[in-house]
Amino acid sequence: MPLKKLPPETQAFVNGLRQEMVFHDTLCGHTLEYRTTWGIFSPKSIDDGTRLLLDHIEVPETADTLDLGCGYGPLGLTLAKLAPQGTSVLVDKDFVAVEYSKKNAAANNINNVEIFLSNGFEQIGDRSFDLIVSNLPAKTGKELYYLYFYDALVRMNPGARFYVVTISGLRKFVQRAFNEVFGNYTKVKQGKTYTVAMAQNE
C-alpha cells in the first residue's frame, strides 16, 4: 500500500523540521560548531546546566575524561579541548545523540575522543578516568542514579573527581548519595535552577 501523501505546504513544514540545526557557542574559551536535531536534549542552544558545570570545573591537560550521557557533545568535546593530552570518552544510550557527538567532533577537528553507544557504563569496560562528568536527567529514578554513582566509583583513578549537574530540587539527594557512595560531597555551585556537585576518589 503506497504511503499517504501530505499536502505540499505540510510536507514543506515537515521537511523543515528534519533539517539539522547548526549553531556556535563558546565554552571555557573554546568556540565550537554544534549540529543538532529534534529529539536530543536542548537542541537549539547549550543548556544552562551544562554551562554552569563547565564554568566551575578544573581539567588538567592530561586528564582522561568521561562524559556520561553526552547528548550532542558539549560537555565531552569541551573536555577534549581542555585536556588535549588525554582522551575524552563520550557515551549515551541514544544512538542519535552518539551520531551527533561524532558529527560535532569531526566538524571541530577534535581527535582525542572516543564516542560510542552505552547504557550507562555497560560498554565502557575496565578503563578508568581522572574526571567523570554528567548532566543528570531530572526524571530518572534514584535507583539509576545509584547505579551511575557506584559504577563511577570503581572507574575513578586515585584522586579522580566526579562532577554532576542536576536541577536544584535533587541537591539534597545527591548530597546524601555522594556521602554514602564516595564518602564525601562538595557543593561546587548552586544556581536558581541547577546545582553542580563534586565527589572525589580519596
Q: At which residue does the C-alpha cell 566551575 appear?
A: 56
How do 30-36 and 21-27 pair as beta strands?
antiparallel
Please spell the DSSP secondary structure of 174-189, one letter per residue: HHHHHHHHTS--EEEE
**pLDDT score at 176:** 97
**pLDDT score at 16:** 82
**Rg for the chain (alpha carbons), in Å?**
18
**pLDDT score at 87:** 98
Average pLDDT of adjacent 10-residue blocks, the chain of 202 residues: 86 87 96 96 95 95 98 98 98 97 98 97 96 91 94 97 95 96 97 95 91
pTM of the predicted model, to two decimals? 0.94
**pLDDT score at 2:** 83
CA distance 48 to 194: 8
**pLDDT score at 191:** 87
107 sits in the region (left: phi over 0; alpha: psi -120 to 50; else beta) called alpha
Domains and CATH numbers, the chain: 9-200 (3.40.50.150)
**pLDDT score at 14:** 82
